[in-house]
Structure 1
Amino acid sequence: MTTSLEKSRAGAHGDLREGLINAGLTLLARDGTSGLTLRKCAALAGVSHAAPAHHFDGLPGLLDAIAARGFEMFADVMEARAEAAPQEPRARLEAICLGYFDFARDNPALYDLMFRQIWSLGGASEELGRSGTRAYTVLADTCAPFVLPGQEPGVVETQVWSLIHGYATLVLVGKLGRNRAIASVTDVLGLLGGLALAD
C-alpha cells in the first residue's frame, strides 16, 4: 500500500507513476540502461522500493512506460522542427529528419531503449504502441507528398526511415569515428533530393 508520505513525495512529480517515469529518464541519461532498475527509480522518486509495483508489472512495465514517454518526446521534437521549417514538403521532410537525428544524438540511451522496447517480444504495451504509432505518423505524413501515384506509401517511408535511422545508429555506435572523413547528417540528407514530388 502506498503511504501518505510516498503520495506526498510523488506529488512533486505530478503523481507516483509520473515520478517513477521521470526518475527512469534521469537514470537513463545519467547511467545508461545498465543503471536503470526499479529500486533505483523508486529511490530517486523518493518512495519505497515496493511502490513501483502499484503502477508497473515489474521492470519491463516501467521500461515500456519510459519508452512510451520517449516516443512522445521524439514526436514532439519532429513536429516542432516541421512547423519551424519553410512550409514546403522537402524542407519539412529534411526538418523532421534533422529532429530525428538530434533527438537520437542528445538522448542515446533513451533512443536505444525506445526501439528495443517497441521491437521486443516482451514490450509493446498499448501505451507504447500508441506513442510509437504517433511518432511514425509524423514520418509518414511528412513523406506523403513524395508518394507517387500507384506507389505504396511504405516504400518512401522505408527509404527515408532507413536513411536517417541508419545514419543515427551508425553515429551512436561509433562506426563513424572522428578520424574518418564522413558525411555530415545534412550531407546524408542530400539524398532526399532524389525524391520526386507527386503531382
Structure 2
Amino acid sequence: MYLNGKLNTGVSGRKKILLSISLTFLTYFFICYHSENKKYEIINEIFNDLDMHPSRIWHSAKVIDYDNKILNHFSFFDKLSIYTQIGVQHTNAFLNSGDEIIPGKITYKDRKGKIHSPEIVSVQSKETKEVIGNRTIIHAAKCHYIISMPLISSDNKTAIMQIDEYCEGGSGSIYILEKIDGKWKVVEEILQWIS
C-alpha cells in the first residue's frame, strides 16, 4: 500500500520479517537438533574410544564453561548450532529441567569387553555400588566425575565436552573432540581448573 507516494509496509511488513526470522530459526533448529539419545550415544562412543571408565558420575549435567576461541574448530553454520545448544543448556540450568543424567544411559566396555554403567550419584560418598545380576558389590570409590552433555556439530563429527574429575584433588577440562576414522580423538584439551 502506498501512502503519500511511498511504500508503507507498516506493521504487516514487520510481522513478515519477524515471521521469516522465526521460521529460519526453527528450520535451522530442527536441522541441527540432536536428540537426548544421540547425545548419550556420543558420550558412550567418547568414553569407549578414549578408554575412559568412570565408576561414578554426578547426577546433574554441567553447563560448559566456554570461551569463543573454543568455537574456532567449527564452521559458521556449526557455530550457530553450538550457540543454540549452549542456549538450551543455560535455559535448562536456569529452569532446573533437563539436566539430570539418566541412570543406565551411559555405558562403556572394559578391556575384556564387558559393558558397565557408572553409578549416578547425588552425594559424595567413599563407596560405589555395582549391580551384577542379583548381587550388589560395594567398592571403595576413588573418583567421581561431573560431565556436560556434549555440544555437537551438525555432521556429528566434532564435539565439545567438559569433564571435571574429583579424586584426591581434582581438575576440570574442556575437550574438543573429532571423529577421525570412526573413532573419537581429543584434538584440544583446555584446562579450566585444578586443585
How high is the TM-score relative to the length of structure 1? 0.28
Question: Based on CA coordinates, which of the two structures has the bigger radius of gyration?
Answer: 2
User: Between Structure 1 and Structure 2, which shows a larger proportion of helix residues?
Assistant: 1
Q: Which is bigger in relative contact order (C-alpha 8 A, separation at least 6)?
A: 2
User: Between Structure 1 and Structure 2, which shows a larger proportion of strand residues?
Assistant: 2
